[in-house]
Structure 1
Amino acid sequence: MKKLLFMFLLIVSCTSSAQDTFVRHYTSFIVEKANVKQPEKKITLTVVFNPNNENKIVFRYGDGRSRTFYQVTDVETGKTTGGYEYQLIRVIDSEDASEATLQLFDKDGVLRIIVSNGDSIEFNS
């Protein structure tokens, strides 16, 4: 009985930690590999955070493709040395089960995906 109660409370706490749904639109991105930034490229991308109050992020590309990332940590907040506030979460990619970190900046809505080796993709509106 204690195990059932514990599992129920765990599920409820994970479900209640989901945030409200919100959407960001992006028109360009920059890839950084081995600390070298590539030229900016155009993109049509809509990112849906917490659709249906679920702990996931859905990328919807202009060509109809979509990609889902599942949130595996609570949201952490922080501030860069330059004073820019951001939110940070760890996610798992539904396509290949790889882990990454998503960093969303509060002021300008810039979204950065950081992979384990430090390479990143930064989306701008």
Structure 2
Amino acid sequence: MTYELRPIGTVESPLTDPANAPKQGGPEAWLVFDAEFAEGLRDLRTGDDVFVVTWLHRADRSQLVVHPRDDPRNPLTGVFSTRSADRPNPVGLHRVRVLAVDGLRVRVAGLEAVDGTPIVDVKPVLDASR
């Protein structure tokens, strides 16, 4: 069985090398959406916390065990117990804060994805009272 994911945009980030990207959190970056998804952006607001779902296109999909945080002093650990990008289905999940919305471009803080990473979805962070 196969499933189809379609990117809805891409990340524009100063991060270009996955080896130098932080493991969690990161610099400010732009989420740049394809025009056909403009209506989906209409209620995003500055200050919103959202989850950005990405496809970590430069990941090694054959990896099942890794040294956490890419530190060989850490014992080999199954990827499903880590935040490693290298995994059979390299889906990235990033909690970020919206800094600005400018048409098809959304500026966010704290994104560790590298430049050119495909965006798969954006979802709001809901607090327990919702």
TM-score (norm 2): 0.25
Instruction: Tell me which protein shows more strand as a share of its residues.
Output: 1
Could you say which structure has the larger radius of gyration?
Answer: 1
